[in-house]
Structure 1
């Protein structure tokens, strides 16, 4: 039977087999793997084993997303984690936006994770909290907040209100357990972000218990920094961070 909503071109999951160090990569809310693929390819080129799952309900149609919960999104990222566990001795996790939220979630749950890299991670978005009980089914799109006018994110053109309620729940769960994170943490934060308030990154930095933590400000990117002008900064600094953590 044909899928009701096929996976959009460019939104497919990606996997690269490399050495015994694995990097799990998570895209964000209403987005797709397209936003993270350049990072995945760069890390694979550096020799790492890379897994970029497509989060349940993402990369197809916003009506399908509406039927999923935050538990489904966690399940998608945990499946990727297990895929890497079967192949690698050491695992790092990185994510953008809600992908950063899921990255934090994994670090809270699995202390064996070697280090995490979060990019404009979300743990509280007052705008979303305000609209989660809106008496409509869909809101405007939140995707493609990119400074570079020549780049577009592959993301949904509408945001299901039901899904907003789910991410609000997920953010609250993750925020309450930040102190459980002890692995090395690298935080990227865009100075100007129209989706996740940059202050989220400071809260994460302050509340994790990691002895090794670093925050890098991205001066030339909006929310989807992985596709924006600072893409190379994220890739280069992440590779340095991983290299240090492995020593």
Structure 2
């Protein structure tokens, strides 16, 4: 699928070349790499090689997004993973919201992923979108303000979401949910206790379904859904760095 619109300024993918440890980061539905840029910059400052992927149809125009299937988004994150493999020996993956769904999907296929970090990942419930699940109209739905608790934070996102894209998101959740038991890599999950988009029960659901021996949960009490840009972004970045360093240093012991 060829995008018809140029990439919005500030919405580009980002890449920081560092050491042999690679970190792939995926933004969420209607978002862009800008929403996870703080996390990427922090981890790059720790010496890691970091790639923030821009999912197909995102960061341009919602008409581009409308033409995408969930397979296009899976291919975007797979392409990012394969790109990092050219630069790094060990790879970790971080996903925010739908990016978390894609990360779980990726971990089902690529067993050499060293660990995944999920920020309010969507897997079984998105209440604001449920009413559009079996509808074809209206063609576009107004998005409203991003679900961020912190004041004066600007997220580059679409003003409208295509209903067709919502259907693709639900399809992605469905196919990923069916194979959760094949996820066995270490998992660090961040869960906003007040999330107006993806309820925290989503995190509880996938943690109970995966087979990973290492499962850590960090509750977020001062952030809403887009936690990677919210009041807890420093906490998230620090925990991700600690999680990665522990695994790389073989500090974890088999449970």
TM-score, normalized by length of structure 1? 0.96
Q: Would you say 1:61 and 2:69 are equivalent positions?
A: no
Q: What corresponds to 1:82 in structure 2?
A: 82
Say which is worse superposed, 125-134 or 195-204, in terms of deviation.
Answer: 125-134
Q: What corresponds to 2:5 in structure 1?
A: 5
Give the number of aligned pairs. 245
Q: Would you say 1:182 and 2:174 are equivalent positions?
A: no
Match of 1:206 among 196, 203, 208: 208
Q: What corresponds to 1:241 in structure 2?
A: 243
Shift of 1:132: 2.4
SS state of the match for residue 153, structure 2? coil
Q: What corresponds to 1:159 in structure 2?
A: 161
- Listed as ranges, the matches of 1:1-247 within 5 Å are 4-127=4-127, 128-134=129-135, 135-141=137-143, 144-247=146-249
Say which is worse superposed, 7-16 or 122-131, in terms of deviation.
Answer: 122-131
- Deviation readout 1:105-134 (Å, 9 max, x if unpaired): 111111110000000000122533431232
Check the 8 A contact 1:189/1:201 in 2, yes or no.
yes
Check the 8 A contact 1:56/1:68 in 2, yes or no.
yes
- Deviation readout 1:132-168 (Å, 9 max, x if unpaired): 2322101121661100121021111001000000000
Shift of 1:55: 0.4
Shift of 1:51: 0.8
Shift of 1:83: 0.6
Q: What corresponds to 2:252 in structure 1?
A: none
**Which whole-Å CA distance do the structure 1 matches of 2:163 and 2:203 have between them?**
25
**Which whole-Å CA distance do the structure 2 matches of 1:182 and 1:245 have between them?**
14
Say which is worse superposed, 129-138 or 17-26, in terms of deviation.
Answer: 129-138
**Which whole-Å CA distance do the structure 2 matches of 1:96 and 1:18 have between them?**
22
Shift of 1:53: 1.1
Report the aligned-residue RMSD. 1.1
Shift of 1:25: 0.2
SS state of the match for residue 203, structure 2? helix
- Runs of at least 5 residues in structure 2 that lack an aligned partner in the other structure: 250-255
**Which whole-Å CA distance do the structure 1 matches of 2:4 and 2:84 have between them?**
29
